[in-house]
Amino acid sequence: MMSERKELDKHFMRLAIQEAEKAFRSDEVPVGAVLVRQNQVIGRAHNQVKLLKDPTAHAEMIAMTQGCEAVGSEHLRGVTVYVTLEPCPMCVGAMILARIDRLVFGAREKKTGACGSKLHLLAETRWNHRFPIEEGLLEFESAALLQEFFKKQRQEKSR
C-alpha cells in the first residue's frame, strides 16, 4: 500500500514537473502544481506571473482556483497539492484557507519558502486548519529545471 502511494505521488509530481517545463518555455519561473482528489487531477497549472502581469499568478494559486471550480466549493478537502517548489507564504496561506489535506513538494526555496526554509507557517499551532507536508519528492528534477532557468536568465543579462 505504501509503495503504491509513493508511485502515485511520483506520477503526480511528474505531471507538476511537466507544468513547470511549460513555464520554463514561456520564460516564467519554472514552477508547476497539480491538485489531486481521489486519484483524479482536478487542477494543474504553471507560473504565469509575467504573462498575466499578476504577482499572485503562482502555479499553486491558479491550480487551486481550478480545483475549487472542479469541486464546486472554496474548500479543497480530500485534495493533495503537488508542487515542484516549496510554496511561498501566500500559497501556503491559501492552502490553509482552502483546507487541503496534504502538500507534497520537490525542491526547497531558501528565499521565500514557507514550509521550513524561510519560515514555517504550519509550525504555528493556532491555525484553524493544518496539513501534513512531504518534501523532496523528485527534488533533483525540480531543482535542475530551476537552476537551468536562472542560469539562462543570468546569461541573457550579461549580453
**pLDDT per position as a tens digit, 34-91:** 999 999 999 999 999 999 999 999 999 999 999 999 999 999 999 999 999 999 999 9
Q: Is residue 120 predicted with pLDDT exceeding 80? A: yes
Q: How confident is the model at residue 18 (pLDDT cuts 50, 70, 90)?
A: very high
Strands (E) located in the chain: 32-37, 40-46, 79-85, 102-107, 133-135
Query: What is the structure's pLDDT at 157?
Result: 84
Residue 38 phi/psi, 5-degree rounding, is 50, 45
Residue type, 79: V
Query: What is the structure's pLDDT at 58?
Result: 98
Q: How confident is the model at residue 30 (pLDDT cuts 50, 70, 90)?
A: very high
Q: How confident is the model at residue 159 (pLDDT cuts 50, 70, 90)?
A: confident
Using the structure block, give the residue that is written with the C-alpha cell 472542479: 70
Catalytic residue among 4, 7, 21, 60: 60
Q: Cα(84)–Cα(142) distance, rounded to whole angstroms?
A: 5
28 catalytic, yes or no?
no
- Here the cell at position 99 is 483546507
Give every strand in the sheet of 32-37, ordered side by side.
40-46, 32-37, 79-85, 102-107, 133-135
Q: How confident is the model at residue 1 (pLDDT cuts 50, 70, 90)?
A: low
Query: What is the structure's pLDDT at 156?
Result: 86
Cβ-Cβ contacts under 8 Å for 16 (sequence gap 6 or more)? 32, 33, 34, 44, 59, 82, 83, 84, 106
Of residues 155 and 90, more confidently modeled: 90
Q: Are 103 and 81 in contact (CB under 8 A)?
A: yes
Mean pLDDT of 123-136: 95
Q: Cα(19)–Cα(44) distance, rounded to whole angstroms?
A: 7
Least confident of 4-13, 55-64, 88-97, 150-159: 150-159
Q: Is residue 158 predicted with pLDDT exceeding 90? A: no
